[in-house]
Amino acid sequence: MKKRNNSSVITLLIMLISISGVLFIYFSAMFERNAPVVTMKESGFWNLKQALHIKIEDESGVKSYKITLKSETEEKTLQYEQLINPEQLLNLEVAPPRSTYAMKDKEIEIIVEANDVSKWNLLSGNAVKKVFKFKIDKKRPRVSIVSNSYKISRGGSALVIFKVEDDNLDTLYIQGNNDKKFFAQPFYKDGYFISLLAWPVVDREFKGTVVANDKAGNVSKVYIPLYLKQKTYKISHIKLSDKFLKGKIADLAEEFVETQGVDNSIEQFKIINEDVRAINEKLIHDITSKVRKEKITSFKMNKMYPLKNAQVVATFGDHRKYLYDGEYISESYHLGLDLASNTMASIKPQNSGEVVFSDYNGLYGNMPLIHHGLGLYTLYGHCSSIKVNSGDETTKKEVIANTGKSGYAMGDHLHFGVLVQGIEVRPQEWMDKQWIKLNVQDVIKSAKKIIDRN
């Protein structure tokens, strides 16, 4: 009887040990069962020049990896490593050998193999083999300028039409100043594009370059041959009066969150003129930076003059420097044209468009914004009332608002602004019928003739 009991105990112990062993193997990190995860930043296309960026991840640690390039005729090891100290994350940059660029293959495979340090699979660990297929594209996009405005003035606009040829085109833009990118719309026939450009009034120089990137990483850059016309803008030294600070500025300070708790009039003015202005302008720039993606065949604009019998009371580009008791306080640029006629006069744009904003915007007061296409927007600030809503389509000479003194305005007037893809430009250009003809209509007409001949 004792022997039977002992035998049962031993059997039970063996079973418990076996179960414990199985549970240990099942739950232990040493025996994790997940194969390494392999990902690659690039996919689909390769120019055989740029490095490939491969990431290998494994919770127990990567023990070894091998990266192979396979073509129809050969297999070439690009990288192989046995790690002395296994790592959970490997970020690899794999440069192709120089000889690879001479390959004639249209397609190749990049094979990534990796093993981890797990004791799973009879102590051999987990393994992965992942194949990435690439189409070889070593040709840069072909970019050619078809037609463009002869010149661009500081603070002004220009138009360019160009052609891009590439079966694998990825991104396309025009590089302007200070990392500014202008985006083009498809134009007239396949492969052609059109874009307005803007030279910011705060910049002394300007350069526009068409940049085309394809999916394989090939890049083409073509300079737009614009004659740069320097233009001098007014610099105004404005003395701040106590009446102004205790009146208009004090009233505005009650309105803005940024000036709550600030009692010093000079500090209030500085916050309003700099911080609040920056917030208001960011909203404008964000909205007006958008360009549609559909193809266009024409872009007809009438000269812009939204206020009948108006007088210019403040010019575009005025660099305003504010002083108090002879001491410099702050500065700003006046990025519109101030027009005044009668009190609460009707505002009637001479071009149709889509209302993209119709609300109160801080220093600009009640402010409708209209998109006329091709990234060209008009802004109407300080309105007493607005007659249109966001999303409305306006017609030529429709009354969209009335002049006023809402926001940062001392008297009833219209702050009329024109923007090209988020950059304020001289309204006077777009109010000039001859300028529009030479710099927009004639450029489009010339481009169509050239395109039709090709």
Side-chain half-sphere CA neighbours of 1 within 13 A: 0
Q: Percentage of the chain with pLDDT > 90?
A: 88
Looking at the fold, whether 416 and 268 belong to one and the same domain comes out as: yes
pLDDT of 165: 97
3-state helix, strand, coil in the chain (%, to 5): 25, 40, 35
Per DSSP, the three-state class of 425 is strand
> What token pair was written down for 93?
């940059």
Which contacts (CB < 8 Å, 24+ apart) does range 384-390 have?
384/344, 384/412, 385/344, 386/358, 388/355, 388/358, 389/355, 389/358, 390/355, 390/356, 390/357, 390/358, 390/359
DSSP, res 206: -
Confidence of residue 374 (pLDDT cuts 50, 70, 90): very high
Q: Find, among 122, 131, 119, 115, the residue nearest to 58 by Cα.
A: 115
**Is-contact 178 401, C-beta < 8 A?**
no
Find the helix or strand (DSSP H, E) in which 218 lies.
Answer: none
Residue 17 in this model has a pLDDT that exceeds 80: no
Q: With b meaning 16 or more CB within 10 Å and e meaning fewer, what string describes 34-52?
A: ebbebebebeebbbbeeeb
Q: What is the mean pLDDT of the chain?
A: 93
400 within a domain of the structure (yes/no): yes
Looking at the fold, whether 169 and 42 belong to one and the same domain comes out as: no
Looking at the fold, whether 101 and 215 belong to one and the same domain comes out as: no
Looking at the fold, whether 68 and 190 belong to one and the same domain comes out as: no
Q: What is the pLDDT of residues 244-257, one digit of tens each?
A: 999 999 999 999 99
Q: Which amino acid is at 89?
A: L
Q: Find, among 186, 175, 173, the residue nearest to 208 by Cα.
A: 175
Q: What is the pLDDT of residues 195-226, one digit of tens each?
A: 999 999 999 999 999 999 999 999 999 999 99
12 within a domain of the structure (yes/no): no
Looking at the fold, whether 201 and 275 belong to one and the same domain comes out as: no
pLDDT of 369: 98
Looking at the fold, whether 70 and 39 belong to one and the same domain comes out as: yes
> What token pair was written down for 11?
């059997």
Q: Which amino acid is at 362?
A: G
Q: Find, among 97, 62, 61, the residue nearest to 79 by Cα.
A: 97
Per DSSP, the three-state class of 365 is coil
Looking at the fold, whether 248 and 227 belong to one and the same domain comes out as: no
pLDDT of 100: 85
> Which CATH number covers residue 226?
2.60.40.10
Q: What is the pLDDT of residues 421-435, one digit of tens each?
A: 999 999 999 999 999
Cα(200)–Cα(303) distance, integer angstroms: 21
**Boundary (domain end) residue, out of 136, 169, 202:** 136
Number of structural domains found in the chain: 3
Q: Which amino acid is at 20?
A: S
176 within a domain of the structure (yes/no): yes
Q: Find, among 215, 57, 37, the residue nearest to 134 by Cα.
A: 215
Looking at the fold, whether 132 and 54 belong to one and the same domain comes out as: yes
Secondary structure tally for the chain: helices H, strands E: 8, 30
Q: Find, among 304, 315, 317, 285, the residue nearest to 347 by Cα.
A: 304
Residue 23 in this model has a pLDDT that exceeds 50: no
Domain range for 285 is 235-421
Looking at the fold, whether 61 and 205 belong to one and the same domain comes out as: no
> What token pair was written down for 249?
């500025």
Sheet containing 185-186, strands listed edge to edge, beginning at the edge strand earlier in sequence: 142-148, 157-165, 192-198, 185-186
Residue 301 in this model has a pLDDT that exceeds 70: yes
Looking at the fold, whether 179 and 255 belong to one and the same domain comes out as: no
> Which CATH number covers residue 88?
2.60.40.1930
Looking at the fold, whether 251 and 215 belong to one and the same domain comes out as: no
Find the helix or strand (DSSP H, E) in which 59 lies.
Answer: strand 52-70
117 within a domain of the structure (yes/no): yes
Looking at the fold, whether 297 and 173 belong to one and the same domain comes out as: no
Residue 297 in this model has a pLDDT that exceeds 70: yes
Cα(113)–Cα(176) distance, integer angstroms: 44
